[in-house]
Amino acid sequence: MQRVVLHIDMDAFFAAVEQLDHPEMRGKPVVVGADPKGGQGRGVVSTCSYEARRFGIHSAMPISRAWKLCPTAIYVRPRGERYSQVSHQIMKIFLSFTPQVEPVSIDEAFLDITLTAKFFGTAENTAKLLKERIKRETGLTASVGVASSKFIAKIASDLKKPDGLVVVEAGCEKEFLAPLEISRLWGVGPKTVPVMNRHGIFKIGDLAGKKPDQVMHWLGEHGLHFWRLANGIDDRVVEERSEAKSMSKEVTFASDLSDQQELLATLRSLCDELAHDLRQQHYRGRTVGLKIRLADFSTFTRSHTLSHAVVNSNEIYSTASELLHEFDRREQAVRLIGVAVSHFDDPQAQLDLFSDDSAAVDPIDRLMDNVKKKFGDQAIRRASAGSKPRRSSD
C-alpha cells in the first residue's frame, strides 16, 4: 500500500501565539527571545513573526543583531507554559485524524494517514480539513506537506509557508525534488555543500543522477544516504511516540562569570530545576552531563555515567560539580553553563537492592516539589543556589 505521510509545521509558532493573545501585536513585527536590552542583550531570537522576517530577522540570530535590524519591533520573552498548552491542543487535533502521530518538536509533527485518509476523502482533503480545524480551534495557521515519505513531506511543508499546503503525488517524488537546492537535503550543511559543488552537484536532481558508488567515494556512508534521499527513497516510519532521550537545563549569563562559587551556585539551581522536571516526567537517568561555553564561544561537554539511575538534585549536583571542578577553563570566564541527565532507565522500574536511597525521592526535593506545585516554580530556592542568577535567557 502506498504510504501517505503528512508533515505539519506551525507558522512562526511562538510569535503567532503572542499575536493571538495580544491583538495589538497583530500585523506588527514580533520577536520572541531574550531581552534585547537596547541592543546590549546577549541571548538569541527564538521565533519571530513574518512581519519581523521582512527585516531580515530569523530564529537563532543574536538578539543584539535583531535589535540593529529592527529596533521598533515588539520584543517579548517566551512563555513556555502557554506554548505547550497550545501545542497540546494541536497534538490532540492530530490524534483525531490518525493514531500514528510522531511529534518532532513543540510545533511540528509527522502523521501517517495511510489507513485513515479514506475517512476524509483524499489525502489532500485530509490535509485541508486538518488545517481548517487548527485554524478554527486555535486561531493559528499551519503549513502542511503531503507525500509518500517523511523526508519529502517535510520539504513540501516548507515550500509555501505560511499557511501553505503542498501535495507531492506518489511517483512524482524525483521530479519534485530535482529543481531544489542541494542544501535542502537533511544533513547537507555548510561543510558538505562545497564538496558537492566541486563535483557539479548544485540541485538535488544533479545528485540523483550520479552513480551511488561515486557519491559514496566522495562523501562516504553519508553520501549514499543523501543519494537515496535525492532519489526520493526514505523508508523511515512515523514513530508514534519517541521517548525523550535526555533532559537538560542551561543558562546564558547576563555577563560572563568567572567566580567558581557563583558558577557552583548556578549549577546547584540548575540541578534543582532539572531534578524537578525529571520527577515530573518520571524519568531517572544514569549519565550526568555538564555543558560549558566559554567567553570565546568555545563549547565543551563533559559527562559521567553512574552505576545507578539518579533523580535527586543532590546526586546530580555532586556529579555535575565534580565535572566542573575537573574542567580546565584556561582562566576564561564562562558564558553559558548547563546540566543534562540522559541514559534513562525503564520508568516501570525494577527496584534495586542497593540504590534504594536514590530511588526514593530526597525529602528536601519532595518538599520543594510540593511547594512549587502549590505556589509556582519560583516560590522556593535552596540558599546554596544563591540569588536568582542573572540570565539573559533560559
Partner 1 sequence: MKFSVAKSELYNSLHKIIGVVPQKTTIAVLNCLLMEVENNQLNLTGTDLEISVTTSLPVEGSENGIMAVPARLLADIVKELPDVPLTLYSHEGNKLVIETEKGEYKIATQPKEDFPKINVEESVLTLDLSSDKVIHLINKTIFAVSADELRPALTGINMELLPDELRFVATDGHRLSKIVFSNFDSPVKEKRNFIIPTKTLNLLLRNVENDDRVNIQIGEDHIVFQLQTATIYSKLINGAYPNYERVIPTDNDKRLVVNRDLLLATLRRVSIFSSSLTRQVRLVITPNELTIRSEDIEFGAEAKEMIPASFSAEWMQIGYNSNYFIDILRHVDGEEVIIELKDSMSAAVMFPSEQQEKEEHLMLLMPIRINEESYEGESSSEENE
Residues forming the site for partner 1 (CB under 8 A): 305-308, 346, 348-356
CB 226 to partner 1: min, Å: 33
Active-site residue, 108 included: yes
Grid cell in block for residue 115: 489507513
Q: How far apart are CA 185 and CA 146, in angstroms?
A: 17
The β-bridge partners of 247 are: 341
Q: Give the nearer residue to partner 1 in terms of CB position, either 244 or 353.
A: 353
CB of 353 to partner 1, least distance (A): 5
Rg for the chain (alpha carbons), in Å?
Answer: 24
Distances in whole angstroms, Cα of residue 168 to Cα of each of 79, 123, 180 = 36, 10, 14
For the bound state, the minimum distance from the C-beta of residue 313 to partner 1, rounded and expressed in Å, comes to 21
Nearer to partner 1, 307 or 387 (CB): 307
The phi, psi pair for 63, rounded to 5°, reads -65, -30
Q: Based on CB atoms, which residue is closest to partner 1, 353 or 383?
A: 353
Q: Whole-angstrom Cα distance, residue 150 to residue 177?
A: 14
> At its nearest, how many Å lie between partner 1 and the CB of residue 329?
28
* Nearer Cβ to partner 1 (138/358): 358
Q: Rounded to an integer, what distance in angstroms lies between the CA atom of residue 225 and that of residue 215? A: 10
**Residue of 18, 51, 108, 173 marked active site:** 108
The residue whose grid cell reads 506545585 is 373
Q: Name the residue nearer to partner 1 (CB basis): 24 or 243.
A: 243
We find the least distance from the C-beta atom of residue 237 to partner 1, in angstroms, to be: 16
Q: What is the DSSP letter of 270?
A: H
Phi, psi of 293 (to 5 degrees): -115, 125
210: closest CA among 194, 231, 193, 186?
231
Catalytic residue list: 108
